[in-house]
Structure 1
Amino acid sequence: MKPVAILQHETSQGPGVLLDHLRQRGICCALIAPCDEGSAPLHAHDYCGIVVLGSNHGANEQLRWIEQEHCLLQSALAGGVPVLGHCFGAQMLARAMGARVWRNPCANIGWSRVWVTPHAQARMDLPAQATLFNWHYDTFEIPQGATRTMYGSHCLNKGFVHGPHWAFQGHLEVTAQSVRNWCDEGEPELREAGGPAVQTRAQILAQLPMHINQLHQIAERTYSAWTAQLQRPRLFFMPKWGEARLALA
């Protein structure tokens, strides 16, 4: 089976529980750091899936590795390779599909409630409401042909699906420790940021175990539904010859 490419851009924004989910299912991964390496893969056919994580950069920045990620996602869209975008990754997927990415009216930092559309409830086995972890300033429009999956009070477009390609303007993958690390790293940012959708460090860390437990339940359902789309090898039995043959699911 080809690996899932995981594009990680920041040390504090790793794959978290998504990596655990993939490993538990025997799905191999290729961790790639485009921001550090200054480049990204261009061809999606080398992978069975593409995951794009968050970044301190913006999807519209004119950087070589960002443009290469743009090409990679367009390759995935053309070749039907499933894409899973988190935050910056969601914005990159929207942009690759021809949608606009721009500054949201206010910053979204901390825990916030989102509403899940009936379509997403059915496809991802999700409840009607969920609480996500956020740390973003930009937003995207829903690409042509895609369907909104989540929406929030201070950011309308919190997610979309287009076939096997899924985007979330938030973070399903975080762990309790990664949230603490992110708050440590972003402490100056938290002091400067303001607005109706920005929480303080104390507010973010309050009831952290409860928030993380609920988020992991949402993440497990979502990741299970997304990974079910990946092309995976399986064995099938040929009764006539009594041989096991390898096929692609």
Structure 2
Amino acid sequence: MKSVFAPLFFLVSFSIYSQTATNFSCKDCDNVNHDFFAELDAGKVIIIDWVMPCSSCTPATVKAHNIVNNFAQSNPGKVFLYIVDDYANTNCSNLKAWADAYGISNATFFSNAAIKMSDYGTAGMPKIIVAGCYNHQVFYNEKNTAIDSAAIVNAVNAALGCATGLEEAPTLLQNVNVYPNPTTDVFTLSFTLSASANITVYVSNVLGQKMAEVFTGKKTEGNITIEFDSSVLPRGMYLIRYMINDEVFTKSVFKQ
């Protein structure tokens, strides 16, 4: 069975930066190896803060540090702060001493040219990005006095909400797939129902806000395909939510 649906959109107000991160593999100031993409693949959300260090870098870095400490309570082991010397010309001892002077302790420190601020546009003192998700998305990218605590928190929440596709599917729902992924316009949802059931499928953004209704109704047992036209969706990460018998299953799709 194959269905084609035009989107019914819901107006929402949110702004999430969208860019793909650049991988790096290097040691931190404690001589621990890091592979950035492997850490994101493991479900970590990482705030990278490039500093000189200097007095102008302090307020934003303290903000980022406080945010990480708050998320350590609500999402332990998920959100991390990497403080990176901007051009790797400050040694680790001086970098840590600067942070200690302002009570910044819950962070990992780097003085390594492998972590390039230039990969994320114009330099800043400081410059902060938030990265996460299986597709290594950058959810926030800002510099200098434009750095905003609320925007960082929103970006971290968005990154935490990005599905990994590892959750268990509802009992009646099998062989769930979304393709092509990434997509530019129409993507296809395919799945198998082991018995007839009422099912609702909708698209949400990574903040959980509903963007479009895909299908609501009864489907009979068997293989199902539904085509969805995403051409009017802005570029970014979206979640396909399948609701069946009060169970919810999520797949991620990236709109280019």
Q: Going by fraction, where is helix more abundant, 1 or 2?
A: 1
Q: TM-score, normalised by structure 2?
A: 0.26
Greater length-normalized contact order (CA 8 Å, ≥ 6 residues apart): 2
TM-score by length of 1: 0.27
